[in-house]
């Protein structure tokens, strides 16, 4: 089955950015969003100051004076005040919650940070977990579905069972994550029609050290998908 997802309407988020030069290169290759891990226990952790330093290296839209790509901080059961401080200091325009945050907390954060995209990541272990995503539809702007791991919040390299997501039709946009690589991305998009994709370990040499060759391969694969759709 050929995907009806094209590169032009697909958000492409590369997560776990830690190095300014790599952030700039990945943005130039075409990423629409960069993710920064704000959880201190993660090997990809960066401080607000480090994120701000990376942001200064990104290509800037001369009309807006801001980077072309979205800047998303990833938090795991973080204090509300810390999230707000990090958003301000690091110039983020998106917050991804990757822990056990409730819809009620999401509502509160949305009220506290108006204008900031709120993404709720959910680790899908079963059909029941997938069905429960509806609880967040009115509390966040975007969902992100990741593979379940008993101890790690993300970046595990494990893939979801894509066949279980084929009937997934949330009322809000969603990202597909979990073990995506340049080698399997077209297979994933042939099965599913997410609004965005999120890659981390699938384009890394080691945690936080991105493999720019693999990132380029990802975009080449997505270019080929768009070319195939245009020829139809």
Residues identified as active-site? 15, 146
Structure tokens at 28: 């130039």
Residues in the chain: 232
**Nearest CA among 93, 120, 94 for reference residue 106:** 120
Structure tokens at 27: 């943005």
**Nearest CA among 46, 70, 64, 73 for reference residue 196:** 70
Distances (CA, A) of 198 to 35, 88, 109, 128, 231: 9, 24, 23, 23, 27
């Amino acid at each position: 089955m050929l995907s009806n997802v094209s590169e032009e309407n697909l958000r492409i988020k590369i997560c776990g950015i830690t190095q300014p030069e790599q952030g700039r290169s990945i943005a130039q290759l075409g990423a629409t969003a960069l993710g920064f891990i704000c959880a201190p226990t993660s090997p990809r952790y960066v401080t607000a100051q480090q994120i701000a330093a990376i942001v200064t290296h990104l290509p800037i839209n001369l009309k807006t004076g801001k980077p072309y790509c979205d800047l998303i901080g990833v938090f795991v059961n973080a204090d509300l005040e810390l999230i707000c401080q990090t958003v301000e200091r690091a110039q983020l325009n998106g917050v991804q919650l990757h822990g056990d945050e409730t819809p009620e907390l999401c509502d509160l954060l949305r009220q506290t940070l108006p204008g900031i995209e709120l993404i709720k990541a959910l680790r899908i272990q079963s059909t029941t977990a997938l069905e429960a995503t509806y609880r967040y539809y009115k509390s966040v702007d975007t969902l992100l579905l990741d593979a379940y791991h008993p101890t790690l919040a993300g970046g595990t390299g494990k893939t979801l069972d894509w066949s279980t997501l084929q009937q997934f039709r949330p009322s809000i946009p969603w990202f597909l994550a979990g073990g995506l690589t340049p080698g399997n991305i077209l297979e994933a998009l042939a099965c599913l029609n997410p609004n965005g994709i999120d890659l981390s370990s699938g384009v890394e040499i080691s945690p936080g050290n991105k493999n720019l060759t693999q990132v380029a391969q990802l975009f080449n694969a997505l270019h080929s998908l768009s070319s195939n759709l245009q020829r139809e």
